[in-house]
Amino acid sequence: MTLFEGSATAMVTPFNQDGTINYDKFEKMIEFQIENGTSALVVAATTGEVSVMSDEDQIALIKFAVEKVNKRVPVIAGAGSNVTAHAIELAQGAEAVGADGLLIVTPYYNKTTQKGLIKHYTEIANSTKLPIILYSVAGRTGINITVATCKELAKIPNIVAIKEASGDMSQIAQIAEQCCDENFCIYSGNDDQTLPMLSLGAKGVISVLANCMPKAVSDICNKYFEGDVKGSREIFLNTLDLANKLFIETNPIPVKTACNLMGMNAGKLIAPLYDMEEKNLEILKESLRNQGLID
């Protein structure tokens, strides 16, 4: 099955000054995304600062999103952990509150082997009926999902896709060739590679940029799918500078800063994440101004 086609936004989480979740602002962000053509919402994942949340807050945030979205688009819940048993608890918790799918990052820090990855994901998949998107982002976790491992995991019925953020286009092409069929697909995990990945058959993107420019990211995908490759390319290239500037510091520092500059009141970053360096902040502001997103 395909969980979604097009743009899924990796949602930031707005926090109050005391570190609690600002649900009023989060609801406004949800509506902003849906109104601008976003195909799915990814909640409580890396961009949402899930690593600083308690399990209770994580599941509560997912539940809130499910209820407010009310089936208008799929809600995909972050449920990754570097402990298999913990990932299973999160997966089952997300399923219990109505999530439509799961995004599960590779274990981090206590890096496992490829054999261990297969066992890790297999145990999680066996614990839930929800469709699972694998998440390969070695730059953050230190471990890559190889083509051979992806091919093996794609055989599991409820593992339906991979969010590929390795940045290795050769590997991505091999996954497209060897793993993808009507039961398994690729999503771009890097905004600056969305169009090239669409050309390899990706079904869309799980996007950080879409927090700021949901319609543009949606249009990149939709125009491509409609056969308007030139139109898709024009939007992709026009937004490329901001897509890159949103990673001038560790994600989600720049995107949350951008959301605040745009008046979304996304709130504070939770330590150890801190405000942007002044020189990088000015670079980000310039890119936002060039898009007409701030004055």
Is the domain spanning 6-228 CATH 1.10.760.10? The answer is: no
* pLDDT < 50 stretches in the chain: none
Residue 121 contacts residue 157 (beta carbons within 8 Å):
no
Q: Where are the domains of the chain?
A: 6-228
Q: Which two tokens stand for residue 226?
A: 């409609």
> Taking all residues of the chain, what is their mean pLDDT, rounded to a whole number?
97
Q: What is the DSSP letter of 268?
A: P
At 78, give phi and psi (nearest 5°).
Answer: -70, 130
Task: For residues 138 and 101, give the distance between their C-alpha atoms in angstroms, rounded to a whole number.
Answer: 22
pTM of the model: 0.97
- pLDDT reported for residue 260: 98
Q: Which two tokens stand for residue 129?
A: 């009926």
Task: For residues 190 and 205, give the distance between their C-alpha atoms in angstroms, rounded to a whole number.
Answer: 8
* Alpha helical stretches, state H, the chain: 23-35, 55-69, 84-96, 114-126, 138-141, 147-153, 169-178, 194-199, 214-225, 229-245, 253-261, 278-290
- pLDDT reported for residue 262: 98
| Catalytic-residue membership of 285 | no
Task: For residues 209 and 206, give the distance between their C-alpha atoms in angstroms, rounded to a whole number.
Answer: 9
Q: Is the peptide bond before 254 cis (omega within 30 degrees of 0)?
A: no
Residue 255 contacts residue 232 (beta carbons within 8 Å):
no
| Catalytic-residue membership of 274 | no
Catalytic residue among 25, 63, 121, 135: 135
- pLDDT reported for residue 1: 75
Q: Is the peptide bond before 272 cis (omega within 30 degrees of 0)?
A: yes
Catalytic residue among 25, 63, 121, 163: 163
Q: Which two tokens stand for residue 20?
A: 């609690």
Q: Which two tokens stand for residue 189?
A: 């995990």
